[in-house]
Chain A
Amino acid sequence: MTKRPRILVVDDEAAIRRFLRTGLGEQGYEVLEAETARAGIESATREKPDLLVLDLGLPDIDGLEVLQQIRRTSLVPVIVLSVRADEKGKVAALDLGADDYVTKPFGMDELVARVRTALRHRLQEQGEAPIFRCGDLAVDLVRRVVTLKGNEVKLSAREYDLLRLLVMHAGKVLTHQFILREVWGPAHTEDVQYLRVYVRTLREKLEEDPTRPRYLLTETGVGYRLKEGD
């Protein structure tokens, strides 16, 4: 049996730490805790956890600053805890290298899903699975073939590039700017409208009901997320 993944929780609220300790412990993770940003940075350097759950609203140092400091020395996956109506903060955290976010208040199921995705992506960097499957959707990254219920779906080169990017980060939120930079190039990071049009056509080709998508989900004000593969 492999070693239990260790998660460092940095949050000043004792109640939040308590329920994360119980919830994540229940899911088979070993939980480390830090009450302040300083203690968190120190613990992250010393203990080298497998994942960090970081509250953006810490009393001593701004959460984004903490993220920057950690990123200078470590590639540990980070999931930030944000609040509603702070889309800017979320985007900023993602830009600074956070892997994902959850909005307070959140359910344990949501956090656990994010944690799993983040941990898996970190592991997958060594070898990419050749075929992505999610429900009726299958994407063969080697042969560049996309099928829905076994029928091949014709995609333009750009549409395929977009889908491929999403598949490679399946389960993770991708910001508009990140997608635009990866697919269209650094000159187009402000052209969110392009992206909206492409997402719409992609949905029309892949989703059963494009108005209530199952695979390609919107994260309002932040970006898009492709549902995690099976």
Chain B
Amino acid sequence: MSNSDQAKLDHRPSPDALLAAAEAERRGKLKIFLGAAPGVGKTYEMLEEAAARKREGIDVVIGVVETHGRLETEQLVRGLEAIPRRQIEYRGRILDEMDIDAILARTPRLVLVDELAHTNAPGSRHPKRYLDVEELLAAGIDVYTTLNIQHVESLNDVVAQITRIRVRETVPDGIIDRADEIEVVDLTPADLIQRLNEGKVYVKDQAQRALRHYFSPGNLTALRELALRRTAQRVDAQMLTYMQAHAIAGPWAATDRLLVCVNESPLSAQVVRQGRRIADQLKAKWTALYVETPRHHRLSEVERDRIADTLRLAERLGAEAITIPGNDAAKDSLAYAKANNVTQIILGKSTRSRWFELLHGSVARELMRQAGNIGVQIVASEGEPVPEKTIETRAEGEGFDFLPYLVSTVTVAAALGIAIAIDCFVVLPNISMVFLSAVLFSAIAYGLWPSLYATLLSVLAYNFFFLPPIYTFTIADPANVMALLFFGVVAVLTSNLTARTRSQAMTAQNRAKATAELYAFSRKVAGIGDLDDLLWATCYQIASMLKVRVVVLLPEHERIAVRAGYPPEDELDEADIAAAKWAWDRNRPAGRGADTLPGAKRLFLPMRTERGAIGVLGIDRDRPGPLLTPDERRLLDALSDQAAVAIERIHLAEDIDEARILAATERLRSTLLSSISHDLRTPLASIIGSVTTLRGIAADAPKPAREELMATIQDEAERLNRFVGNLLDITRIESGTLQFHREAVDLREIVETALRRATRILEQHRVQVDLPSDLPMLEADPPLLEQALFNLLDNAGKYAPKGSSIRIAAHREGERVAVAVEDEGEGIPPDQIERIFDKFHRAHAGDSRPAGTGLGLAICRGFVEGMGGRVSAANRGDRSGARFTIELPVAPVAATALETPR
């Protein structure tokens, strides 16, 4: 590629940028009125602008607007149509919520939705109002909305630090990034405070005191700056998109890549948010990474959940979230960073004790030591994080299991018995070893806590039965106290060690099993070519690995419908169908345990491939509560991904087949067109020509001349009739609607009628019929066999010279009868024998030969094969000419033997 080419390429609009712009065009437009604090007049501003739109003739309605009893605002509201709110009863209270269905049904051009960060009442379609807004936008409705800066997800921590008030209602940054317009409604802090004092700012009573602090000039200034900065950032991004879309070369930031390290700490979420801010400023791609070390399996379920949630938060903030297995968080993070050209690594300041760092090492320190040219940023985090959940997951191992403790007790009792038995016969100085075996057994069999329990029991038993004075818990000899103490320490250490080994072994075993099953599944699905088989295999696999009920839904005629399930008889109720549809339309999870439609019985997850969602997976378990543990969720994702890829592969294969058939149909159509234009026009030309001549010539013209013209008209009209008949026949064959009624047929009758029909065609040939008198009845459909034979005769008449003879002969060959039509023409070119029965194939192309349709032999083959026979072509051995043979089965004899006439 030359330099100028390269330059041209660089100046082309980036496809991604264009795609994003195109996507935005179909959606409704979102305008956010952003304020630094409550009371700056966002709602008023929004209403004023809406009124202006209305004056321009735009269809504006109010979805929801809170006037908080302010007069000016109420006046503005009165001028606009408002969609009545929906009343939702919740715990005895009636809550007013925006009626999204009514708005969708009304389909205005523009809808006003106040308070973007609002949390909907339980039982609403979406838990959050911004999700409602997303749906409105997706429906192509423009939305005006209001938002305070403290509700922006990535600024949540910052605002909390500034104001010391944490806002629980947040809006993801994505929705702000995707807004088409942001208007900052700005008011100086002094003016705002004055408004507050005048009582013009609505505040909930209980928050009065807190708000006094909130509205301090310092806070307001900081918030104002935040709002302006966030907007400026967005303007930047917009400019970038514009420049990319229009291929304007600009000073792009060097392609920074950020890596945010995530761990189980509750502060990781803040690190992720900070990472997002840094990535935004650098306009860099960023990745959130979690290294799953062996320590992962010792984490509590809460911690594991938190990791999964943090990764999901990162995803929502625009990061790529990745989990890699490893042994050393620092080393593996670094290896990943180097392999992926990361320029900066971001991690949170450790909140761990010095002791912990001494024991486990400090990831931060390790990273800084080994990072080389990669920058490492340690960010501070403060305050309490906001837990995030997309899908609730279930804790593993719920409930307390008594069995391990019971068995441990029995084991220790057995050890005691053995120890007493041994003690009767031999004097063993360290009889405590017997108890140690019991402790080890418990550790191996049940893990840490049962083994610690066994340790306690052993210590007590050893003391009681063996340390003098026996049968008391007192110990006389100080040396024995020491012995018992060491026994305890050793037992505890061994328990711990063994339990850990056991848990690692179990994890490894589970993982190996899951991996093996995944591998087997991927091999299995790779070999399946049929969609239904594949879906069944998928359902079965998921159901058996996760012990859940499974349904798979695929799009069918613009709708999503159940295609497979395990158990297969499961049916979806209406809530489930709604959730499945939502999951499909939005490509996001919905249903039980998810953000949207949590009332459904099942959880629906979109099955995705690189090219987008291809279906929805619904799962359900009989027990209540969250459906899956995080591990199960990950396994499900892996299975779902594999199935999705396999389904896509089958779809692609079908597409290719379809394209091939389409191409063949297209070819057929064009051949048909050219055939029709030639074969219909030629006889028509002769007919019209002859008729006009007839009308033109004098009435006393010689009779032979008139006779000839009239014969031409008749011949050509009959040819036209045959051609139309052929077209009909080939259509009947191709459409598959042709039915074959097979019955016992006397070949003579068929030959008789076919010859009668061909009388005019074969007028100038000598026809010889050679049928043995003992020829058995054939099994065939009489009219179709007649047509097949007629087509062979027609063909012979066309290609054999006048005056030559055409022979019809038949003979029995075992259980079949062969009927041959032989002519004395030029024969078939050997290279065309194979193709001569193909549609529109003609041995002699061009206009020189008498016009044929190229369909006669194809129809002959179609009919004969449909009747269970065979047709073949060959050149005659005895002389020049072609031989076409139809073979058909002999009819069962039973009927022909009845009542033979004497």
Taking beta carbons and an 8 Å cutoff, which residues of A are in contact with B? 84-85, 87, 105, 156, 158-159, 191-194, 196-201, 203-204, 209-213, 217-221
Contact = CB atoms under 8 A, between A and B. Distances in A.
B624 to A, nearest CB: 63
Contacts of B753: 218-220
B895 interface: yes
A78 to B, nearest CB: 23
A194 B746 CA distance: 11
B746 A200 contact: yes
B896 A197 contact: yes
A158 B746 CA distance: 19
A159 B755 CA distance: 26
Given A87-B783, A221-B782, A197 B771 contact: no
Contact of B717 (A105, A196, A220): A105
Interface in B751-797: 751-753, 755-756, 769, 771, 773, 777, 782-783, 786
Interface string B681-720: 0000000000000000000000000000000000001000
A192 B750 contact: no
Given A105-B717, A192-B743, A211-B771, A158 B901 contact: yes
Given A201-B901, A220-B750, A196 B725 contact: no
Contacts of A105: 717, 721
Nearest to B787: A85
B782 A194 contact: no
Contacts of B777: 193, 196
B748 A217 contact: no
A19 B335 CA distance: 94
B527 to A, nearest CB: 46
20 contacts: A84-B725, A85-B783, A105-B717, A105-B721, A156-B902, A158-B901, A192-B743, A193-B891, A193-B895, A197-B900, A200-B746, A200-B748, A204-B773, A211-B769, A211-B771, A217-B752, A219-B753, A220-B782, A220-B786, A221-B783
Contacts of A197: 896, 900-901
A157 B602 CA distance: 81
A192 B901 contact: no
A212 B902 CA distance: 23
A196 B782 contact: no
Nearest to A84: B725
B747 to A, nearest CB: 9
B744 interface: yes
B728 interface: yes
B901 to A, nearest CB: 5
Interface SS, B side: helix
B864 to A, nearest CB: 16
Contacts of A201: 901
Contacts of B717: 105
B558 interface: no
7 interchain residue pairs of minimum CB distance: A193-B895, A218-B749, A221-B783, A211-B769, A193-B744, A220-B753, A220-B786
B899 interface: yes
A210 B901 contact: no
B335 to A, nearest CB: 76
Nearest to A195: B746
Contact of B744 (A85, A192, A198, A199): A192
Contact of B749 (A85, A156, A196): A196
Interface in B847-899: 891, 895-896, 898-899
B896 A218 contact: no
Given A192-B743, A212-B769, A220 B783 contact: yes
A169 B901 CA distance: 23
> Which of A105, A213, A218 is the most central at the interface, judged by chain B CB atoms within 10 Å of its CB?
A218
A102 to B, nearest CB: 14
A158 B902 CA distance: 10
A212 B900 CA distance: 23
Contacts of B902: 156
Contacts of A217: 752, 756
Contacts of B786: 220
Given A192-B744, A212-B769, 6 more contacts: A158-B901, A193-B898, A196-B744, A203-B748, A213-B752, A220-B783
A227 to B, nearest CB: 12
Contacts of B899: 194
Contacts of B756: 217
Nearest to A159: B901
Contacts of A203: 748
Contacts of B750: 220
Contacts of B771: 211
Nearest to B714: A107
A70 B728 CA distance: 32
Contacts of B755: 212
A119 B782 CA distance: 30
Contact of A211 (B725, B752, B783, B891): B752
B769 A156 contact: no
A211 B756 CA distance: 11
Contacts of B732: 85
B64 to A, nearest CB: 60
A209 B743 CA distance: 25
A165 B686 CA distance: 45
A212 B753 CA distance: 9
A84 B726 CA distance: 11
Contacts of A158: 901
Contacts of A193: 743-744, 777, 891, 895-896, 898
Contact of A191 (B751, B752, B769, B895): B895
A194 B898 contact: yes
